[in-house]
Amino acid sequence: GAMAQTTDVLVAIGTSTGGTIALEQVLSTLPRVCPGIVIVQHMPELFTAAFARRLDSLCQLDVREAKTNDRVLAGTALIAPGGKHMVVRRSGAQYRVEVLDGPPVNRHRPSVDVLFRSVAECAGRNALGILMTGMGADGARGLLQMHEAGARTLAQDEASCVVYGMPKEAVKLGAVDRTLALDAIPQEIVGALRH
């Protein structure tokens, strides 16, 4: 089917409480050659642009706040803007993001579930989903949908989480292939290129 036409690997990451530091640790250790990454970090409006700029200055990757029609490209990480949802769409053999208004989901906007569900639908088994430190359950159901669509799914382990909420809920749902310490996550992202 249509899925066979793209071999681009897409990495989707969701995080909340404790996530800014966790993302900094993961992204700053990634080499320039790595899959395209889309990220929802629960954050208020106006904070995400500064956060993206800070990460961009620390990382070999290009890190920026997402805008509608941005392509998901190798060596690039797109962060959902605070106060908006972000989804991934397929256009031909490319993935592009769309930034949307809409009601909060699981009391969050951006919501990890909204991102993960879109990735399950458009990328299926070409995706790697990662749920990291955070309070609550946002992203657990979306990760399950990714898992059911054939994506590989990871959760950060309790010991390395600031708050073991979101990953724990995903594990409970049976959404997680592997639970890993934070410092083992970067190599999984790089390794996704070979799958």
Upstream peptide bond of 44 is cis (omega within 30 degrees of 0): no
CA 59, 96, 32 angle in degrees (round to 5)? Answer: 25
In the set 8, 16, 147, 157, the catalytic residue is: 16
* Catalytic residue list contains 147: no
* Catalytic residue list contains 160: no
Buried b (16+ CB within 10 A) or exposed e, 122-155: bbbebbbbbbbbbebbbbbbbbbbbbebebbbbb
Hey, what amino acid is at 7? Answer: T
In the set 70, 113, 138, 157, the catalytic residue is: 138
* Catalytic residue list contains 138: yes
In the set 8, 42, 70, 113, the catalytic residue is: 42
Which tokens in the block code for residue 179? 């639970």
Catalytic residues, by residue number, are: 16, 42, 138
